[in-house]
Amino acid sequence: MCGIVGLYFKNTAMEQQLGSLFRPMLISMTERGCDSAGFAVYGDEYDAGIKLTLRSNDTNFNWIALADQLATQFGKVDEWFRNNTVAVFKLPVNEATALNWLKQNAPDIEVMSAGHSIEILKGVGLPAEVADHFNLANMKGSHAIGHTRLATESAVTIQGSHPFSTGMDLCLVHNGSLSNHNRLREKLKRAGIDFKTDNDSEVAAGYLAWRLSQGDSLQTALQNALKELDGFFTFTIGTRDGFAVLRDPIACKPAVIAETHDYVAMASEYRALANLPGIRDANVWEPEPAKLYVWERNSTTTAGAV
């Protein structure tokens, strides 16, 4: 099963409503995925370095001490805040420098996301519980994608829940199953991609990260995914500027898209979209098989075939 939702604002005046509109979308997919949930929120831009979302298994972890260590190492921490069991840090250094320091000095800290805009938040439990754990209803931003999981390929863990990070400000959520994930995982390991779980969806994310590292554009990477990922899938990919939707050539897994002058929304089922403002006047359609749909800021909205 599993459920996917996404919401992207074309009208920036709506950004204050992101969490309040997105939370019911995520919760509406509970019947498709009740064991864990997660979401990526884009907003609160930081361009002076790297923005990291970090997580600890220790509910009493001393985030203040870590902030002091980071400030000592890098001269300052531009900003940091705690959101329940995670913390978001804005550091005036590049990604590699920050991640290398964390690996050496805080190896038990899990990096949930890295970029200039993205924050990935996820947990085990009902979607409503996960949403409220991180206060989703009050979040602001330009867009968000989310996932509700019913595990079929691996254990129910935070690490196995979606979204999976695929690079700077990039992440992927997946509804479906891949039949060649074990073979492809071994190939990607040899290419230097690390995996934390046995989840087949993590292989899709790792594949995308690998193609991007080889110089592919996002569109080219997804075109290659159609050729090399064997199985059924609907993917939604979050980027700093928007999101993309892609279904496999058979289009076995459901998806629906709605677009108005103010927003673009997608979901596994229409009921996730039914209460959005202006939905009665929206252009609503089912995305075609093997066709890439992309909406991003600073570019023309496209729905181009791949």
Active site residues: 2
Residue (of 178, 244, 166) closest to 6 by Cα position: 244
Q: Is 139 helix (H, G, I), strand (E, B) or coil?
A: coil
Counting every residue written for the chain, the total comes to 306
Cα–Cα dist 242/306, whole Å: 18
Structure tokens at 89: 């840090």
Structure tokens at 139: 């979040």
Q: How does DSSP assign 226-245, residue by residue?
A: HHH--EEEEEEEEETTEEEE
Q: Is 293 helix (H, G, I), strand (E, B) or coil?
A: strand
Q: Is 190 exposed, middle or buried (0-12, 13-18, 19+ CB in 10 A)?
A: exposed
Structure tokens at 288: 């075609």
Residue (of 7, 4, 3, 1) closest to 275 by Cα position: 7
Cα–Cα dist 145/164, whole Å: 11
